[in-house]
Amino acid sequence: MKTKLSDIIIGCMNWGVWGKNYSTQEMTDLIHFCIEEGNTTFDHADIYGGYTTEAEFGEAFVKSGVEREQIQLISKCGIQYITETRTKNRVKHYNYSKEYIIWSVEESLKNLKTDYLDVLLLHRPSPLMEPDEIAEAILQLQAEGKILDFGVSNFNASQMELLADKITLNYNQLEFSLIQNSAIDHGTLDYLLKNDMKVMSWSPLGGFFNLEGEQAERVREVLQILSKKYDATHDQLLLAWILKHPSNVIPVIGTSNKNRIQTSNLARKIDLDLQDWFILYEASRGHKVA
């Protein structure tokens, strides 16, 4: 049984030094706000903030007084950066040894001030992955109650298949938006749908509001028309586009702006007309479907 996550997940990558650099009190207030809005799932990775943001969130979580059962915590492991906290790293790389996976999860638990992660994801595929070794680590962590559920991030179909022979995968967090929709062509979404895996979409707006060029102009022109038809903002329509996909995508929104969080939540109420979905799809790609 998959862990129940909120319909829209709050991405915490920019809460720390990689973005807003919020104080403990500001993070505490934001945690309360998100919960009140129904966004109870918080997405982390060990590397965020150069391996610092999880600990800052953990301090805010303790200060919030929120019961652990009220929220769901996602974290990811595997990417090794060159930072002051990882002095032995000489190059960016991936580490999926059994020892490292277990150590990394235990570090995340300590930093987030929790006894368990609701979901652990392998952050990016490594060409040196050993499926048996990964499975051993995950099964041990699950048996010890340190992770409740498991999945991957940024894996394609063949990479998921490699692991799925050894361990149950329930999630893939990947880049998917109207602007970046290659997961459709590559068969990744088909694989996830076929195997009843949940899809999380990072960058669900595709960086649209900072985008320039012909694609942006085509999409913007359609959004101007549809925003009047649906009485919706452009970001709501962009979210509604991915929400219509039958794989039941869960957007991971990177904004920490309270108004934008509320606006994003309203996108769930928009049911795009079939042809409107394809009009946006065509605008993004610059040509009709075959």
pLDDT of residue 2: 74
Which residues, other chains included, contact 107 with Cβ-Cβ below 8 Å and sequence gap of 6+?
Answer: 46
* CA 244 – CA 240 distance, rounded (Å): 6
Phi, psi angle pair for 126, to nearest 5°: -110, 140
Residue 143 tokens read as: 């048996």
How many structural domains comprise the chain?
1
Residue 127 has pLDDT above 90, yes or no: yes
Is 128 a domain residue? yes
Is 244 a domain residue? no
What is the percent of the chain where pLDDT is above 90? 96
**Are 95 and 134 in contact, with CB atoms under 8 Å apart?**
no
- Residue 85: pLDDT band (50, 70, 90) is confident
Average pLDDT value for residue range 191-219: 96
Is 190 a domain residue? no
pTM, 2 dp: 0.97
pLDDT in tens, 93-105: 999 999 999 999 9
Q: Give the amino acid at 75.
A: S
Residue 279 has pLDDT above 90, yes or no: yes
pLDDT of residue 156: 96
Average pLDDT value for residue range 243-268: 97
What is the domain-level CATH number for residue 69?
3.20.20.100
Is 274 a domain residue? no
* CA 41 – CA 43 distance, rounded (Å): 7
pLDDT of residue 3: 83
Is 280 a domain residue? no
Burial class (CB in 10 A: 0-12, 13-18, 19+), 22: buried
Is 159 a domain residue? yes
- Residue 87: pLDDT band (50, 70, 90) is confident
Average pLDDT value for residue range 236-243: 98
Active-site annotation holds for 48? yes
Q: Which of 48, 96, 171, 230 is catalytic?
A: 48
Q: In sequence order, what are the beta bridge partners of 72?
A: 41
Is 272 a domain residue? no
Domain interval for residue 97: 9-175
pLDDT of residue 1: 58
Residue 248 has pLDDT above 80, yes or no: yes
**Segments in 165-253 forming alpha helices (H):** 182-185, 188-194, 214-230, 234-243
Average pLDDT, the chain: 96
pLDDT in tens, 17-75: 999 999 999 999 999 999 999 999 999 999 999 999 999 999 999 999 999 999 999 99
Is 78 a domain residue? yes
Phi, psi angle pair for 94, to nearest 5°: -120, 140
